[in-house]
Amino acid sequence: MKVLVTGGAGFIGSHIVDRLLQANMQVYILDNLSTGSIRNVNPGADFIKKDIRDKDLKKLFVRERFDYVIHEAAQTTVPKSLDNPYYDCDINVLGLVNVLEASRTAGVKRIVFASSAAIYGDTETFPIAEDCEKNPTSFYGESKLIGEHYLEKYYKNFDLEYIILRYANVYGERQSDSGEGGVISVFSKSILTNNPITVYGDGSQTRDFIYVKDVANANYEALLTASPNRSLNISTASETSVNKIITILSKITDQNPKIFYAAQRENDIKRSVLNNTAAINYLNWQPSYTLAEGLYLTLRDLSIKIAYRKNVVSVK
């Protein structure tokens, strides 16, 4: 089985690559390294430095004849989508269409697409099921929703199978500590380096935090499921406040960080928790890691990296 992972040098994509290689699949990574890192590239995969928007992408697909594509490459932050809607659309919509055109031309059997809880926006129904009304509050959420519509149309018009995975708030090793998408990574780094934590809002806002290896397993199962052409929430179906996250991190590290509360950010959703029943039923999947386990593993990895960086600096 020959699988291409776009964005495979990134946070989530690199974990997906690891999982596929564990299953002895032939894995290719396509990444322009704008946000991904060559350090994340598993040496067992074939790496191709390329942008999903490149005009000659179709030639690559025709030459390599990938069986499946997992599409992780994206612009992933809400603030950036608001600051530069053109850039967000260029990557998340036009970039996706470029991948879809290359896939249908080269005979790809199925594409697995990374969507987001951001497509739902603010809602009063919890946990949020897949058929809930979609009302994204940001251009990022809108671009992901448009991407889903393109996948549906490519199946109806060209018979290109798809599975859409709507991620809750993913966290874990290799996550960037910049931007709202990596709140756990940001908090963890602050605690481990004895710096204060900044919380936007009062900290009562909730999210459905899911560990990255559980997300990687969901992508693996999405390649194998016999029931394609559907959208599935990938989540824990558990609601956790930002303040609770800080409490758990503090207990694991035995630290008592200073906390500063700033004004709530524009377009920040108050509550988010996703129903994962459909994924459990259709993917033969469910989350394996508790929040405490995932946070411990995240902190352990980050503490090792921080210690390594300190040693490198001291040597210099």
Report, as residue numbers or ranges, the catalytic residues.
Answer: 140
Q: Residue type for 186, please?
A: V
Alpha-carbon distance 30 to 45, whole Å?
A: 10
State the maximum Cα–Cα separation within the chain, in Å, rounded to a whole number: 60
| CB contact set of 249 (below 8 Å; sequence gap of 6+) | 184, 187, 188, 191, 255, 295, 299
Tokens (6 digits) for 137: 């509050």
Strand partners, 211: 171
Tokens (6 digits) for 81: 């989508």
Alpha-carbon distance 308 to 310, whole Å?
A: 5
| Cβ–Cβ < 8 Å for 39, 60 | no
Pairing of strands 206-207, 240-241: antiparallel
Alpha-carbon distance 291 to 170, whole Å?
A: 11
Q: How many CB atoms are located within 10 Å of the residue 131 CB?
A: 9
Tokens (6 digits) for 244: 């609770």
CB crowding 196-216: b at 16 or more within 10 Å, else e = ebebbeebebbbbbbbbbbbb
Reported residue count of the chain is: 316
Alpha-carbon distance 200 to 253, whole Å?
A: 22
